């Protein structure tokens, strides 16, 4: 493991792993009009769905079976519009005495579809038509305390985008076999032997945070809601992440980082197109694993971005490698404004503290975040 020091600079390289996504699956129903069947269960004694993402085509019939047969707590499954899971989770908490009577399902237009509150061993099937508007729709368990970690994404794709429609893929922690047993009582995730990625809740991120630990000792939090690298830290003794608040007992609390942060950035994607002052419109698309390293994929104002966040080859720190498809708009990278941070780039020009890259493409550039 590398040792720490102080100033931060930014320049090139790659390493890692991750959670499930629809991008590396292309299985399709033979009958384009047949309902898409989805099965979602729970991870026993943990506040997690066993499927955290699945894809459907806009306007298609969907048969979704929520299975709580392996659960040890009460759970439901609520589908909401994009980015509204936290709002619904808070509304469920505020239901007070009415909550149990109404299965903690708020009377709100933000609730698109919902199961009842299921006891351990129960199963319920929802049949509905997928929204006609493409986007990343949320689903969550709205039981109080569950809705900030027990979340997932229903990717609704345009009808013509058939390669994106797929069955759900299993949710798991890459680099480990499973959650620690109750007998083990060791809830620390240790990535010294292999990279580990897990989706969890790490404030100030949204519930769609991705925590990544690298064998080099660095770890970071990527928020899939904002498509942003929020912060990075060096792993402490025994691991880089403590999942005890999430997995133990009733759970529902945020995970805790183990170690010391060395980098922080605003919770907004640093890529801009055309105008550097214009807030980006982002859509997380999933990931592909390339050589054991996750390549995060998202769109910024409709343009596909591929990003790999890996350990620095020589210094303490990380390297962000961006690949951007061809575009006729100017590309801007907005560095985090933090004392001691220096940005080195493989191409582009600096303008008023920003990095400007001419239109064209496809474009690839690298940003390294390192400490002396």
- Identify which of 34-48, 153-167, 254-268 has the greatest average pLDDT: 254-268
| Distance of alpha carbon 317 from alpha carbon 307, whole angstroms | 16
Question: 298-317 in b/e burial notation, b at 16+ Cβ within 10 A?
Answer: bbbbebbbbbbbbbbeebbb
**If DSSP codes are grouped into helix, strand and coil, which group holds residue 122?**
coil
DSSP percent split of the chain into helix, strand, coil, nearest 5: 5, 40, 55
Site of tokens 């942060």: 261
**What is the pLDDT confidence band of residue 181, given thresholds at 50, 70 and 90?**
very low
15-61 pLDDT, tens per residue? 333 333 333 333 333 445 688 999 999 987 667 888 888 889 999 99
| Distance of alpha carbon 107 from alpha carbon 36, whole angstroms | 27
In degrees rounded to 5, what are phi and psi of residue 209?
-70, 150
The answer to whether residues 205 and 221 touch, using CB atoms and an 8 Å cutoff, is: yes
Strand partners, 307: 296, 322
222-258 pLDDT, tens per residue? 988 889 999 999 998 889 998 888 776 555 578 899 9
Question: Token pair for residue 28?
Answer: 């399709």
Q: Is the pTM of this model over 0.85?
A: no
Q: Is pLDDT above 90 for 343?
A: no
Question: 143-180 in b/e burial notation, b at 16+ Cβ within 10 A?
Answer: bbbbbbbbbbbbbbbeeeeeebbbbbbebbbbbbeebb
| Distance of alpha carbon 236 from alpha carbon 251, whole angstroms | 23
| Distance of alpha carbon 94 from alpha carbon 174, whole angstroms | 35
């Amino acid at each position: 493991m590398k040792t720490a020091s102080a100033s931060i600079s930014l320049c090139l390289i790659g390493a890692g792993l991750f959670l499930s996504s629809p991008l590396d699956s292309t299985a399709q129903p033979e009958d384009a009009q047949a309902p898409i069947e989805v099965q979602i269960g729970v991870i026993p004694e943990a506040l997690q769905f066993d499927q955290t993402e699945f894809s459907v085509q806009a306007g298609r019939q969907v048969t979704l079976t929520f299975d709580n047969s392996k659960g040890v707590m009460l759970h439901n499954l609520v589908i909401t519009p994009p980015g509204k899971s936290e709002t619904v989770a808070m509304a469920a908490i505020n239901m007070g005495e009415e909550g149990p009577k109404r299965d903690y399902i708020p009377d709100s237009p933000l609730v698109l579809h919902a199961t009842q509150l299921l006891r351990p061993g129960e199963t319920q099937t929802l049949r509905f038509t997928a929204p006609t508007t493409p986007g990343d729709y949320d689903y969550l368990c709205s039981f109080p305390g569950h809705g900030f970690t027990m979340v997932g994404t229903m990717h609704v794709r345009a009808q013509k985008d058939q390669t994106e429609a797929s069955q759900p893929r299993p949710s798991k922690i890459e680099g480990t076999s499973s959650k620690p047993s109750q007998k083990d009582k060791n809830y620390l995730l240790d990535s010294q032997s292999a990279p580990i990625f897990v989706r969890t809740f790490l404030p100030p991120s949204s519930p769609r945070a991705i925590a990544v630990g690298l064998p080099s000792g660095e770890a970071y939090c990527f928020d899939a809601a904002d498509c942003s690298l929020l912060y990075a830290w060096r792993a402490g003794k025994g691991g880089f992440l403590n999942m005890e608040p999430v997995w133990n007992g009733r759970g529902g609390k945020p995970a805790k980082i183990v170690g010391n942060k060395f980098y922080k950035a605003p919770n907004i994607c640093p890529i801009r197109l055309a105008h550097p002052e214009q807030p980006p419109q982002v859509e997380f698309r999933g990931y592909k694993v390339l050589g054991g390293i996750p390549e995060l994929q998202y769109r910024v104002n409709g343009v596909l971005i591929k990003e790999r966040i890996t350990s620095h080859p020589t210094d303490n720190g990380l390297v962000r490698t961006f690949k951007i498809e061809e575009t006729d708009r100017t590309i801007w990278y907005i560095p985090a404004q933090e004392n001691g941070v220096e940005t080195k780039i493989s191409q582009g020009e600096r303008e008023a503290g920003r990095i400007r890259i001419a239109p064209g493409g496809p474009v690839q550039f690298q940003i390294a975040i390192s400490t002396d």
